[in-house]
Amino acid sequence: MNKYLDVSKEAAEAIAANKPVVALESTIISHGMPYPQNVETALKVEQVIRENGAVPATIAIIGGRLKAGLTREEIEHLGKTGYDVPKVSRRDLPVIIARGMDGATTVTTTMIIAAMAGIKVFATGGVGGVHRGAETTMDISADLEELAQTPVMVICAGAKSILDLGLTLEYLETKGVPVIGYQTEELPAFYTRKSGFCVDYRLDTPEELAQAFYVKQEMGLAGGMLVTNPIPEAFSMDPAVINKAIDAAIEESKQKGIHGKETTPFLLAKVKEITGGDSLDSNIQLVLNNARLAAQTASALCKCAQ
């Protein structure tokens, strides 16, 4: 066990007993939504995971400790502190830990800490990817590199549609990361169910997802697996509306010189503003949908190992 890591008693006991545990990120709490919706959503996601037979383990950094499994008070703290909590990726971990600071974990750092704790399934909203214009800016999310090296299944609603989805898929192919569509052959684009791009494989049950990931691990293949789970039809946004909002947000970010890890929070907040809050409602629903599938898949994965 990593000496900087604290695993909650509930999660540790479940892992030791080969019972299902689902990791959850904390950037969505501090940077993804306003208070109190961020805390309400985080607690609701944990509840959905429990209702589907698994133990939730929300991951963050609290006082310089890597935490796999937060208390309600710690979730409330992250929600109220919001943007004042640093958004922590792989490169930030040594300094944040050495300084004894708090940190909200991205997809990348959630994967790292989940793997340290022995958690194999992680539910999130959307993953990062290759940003539009990356051929000149080289702005590529660390999430893609982490998927290539860390053995965690990430269940999401696709890559955020603020990205270049075609280049993101090409990058993942180069890194040997399987991109699976859950009950779909088309890559979902976060707020919408369709993107015009195809996934590598379609699988239709949590058991199929679990078996594929189990075999990958048994073969000794490095890295994780990306499962893309489309937002429920009832909450899917009109692609024309959301794409227009994204284009406007990207143009404003360029004008303001926003780049690096500040890009995604700015774009998501701007899209929410342009869509009158519709994008936030969609965001909440897709996270709950992913949590449900993650819990079911984690349960099936435990059975593979019996």
Q: Which residues are catalytic?
A: 25, 160
Which pairs with CB-CB distance under 8 Å and at least 24 residues apart come from 249-257?
Answer: 249/162, 249/274, 250/132, 250/162
Q: Give me the helices (H) in 221-277, please.
A: 239-256, 263-274
Give the DSSP letter of residue 79: H
Q: What are phi and psi of 268, to 5 degrees?
A: -65, -40
Tokens representing residue 182 in the block: 């859950």
At 186, which amino acid appears? E
Determine which helix (DSSP H) or strand (DSSP E) holds 295, and give its type and residue range. helix 278-304
- Please give the structure tokens belonging to residue 6: 């604290």
Show Cβ contacts of residue 187 under 8 Å, excluding neighbours closer than 6 positions.
158, 159, 165, 169, 179, 181, 195, 197, 198, 199, 228
For 42, the enclosing helix (H) or strand (E) is helix 37-51
Give the DSSP H/E element, type plus range, for residue 98.
helix 93-98
CB proximity list for 119: less than 8 A, separation 6 or greater: 11, 15, 21, 22, 23, 57, 68, 152
What single-letter amino acid sits at 120? Answer: K
Print the SS3 string covering 270-289.
Answer: HHHHHCCCHHHHHHHHHHHH
Question: Is residue 86 within 8 Å of 92, Cβ to Cβ?
Answer: yes
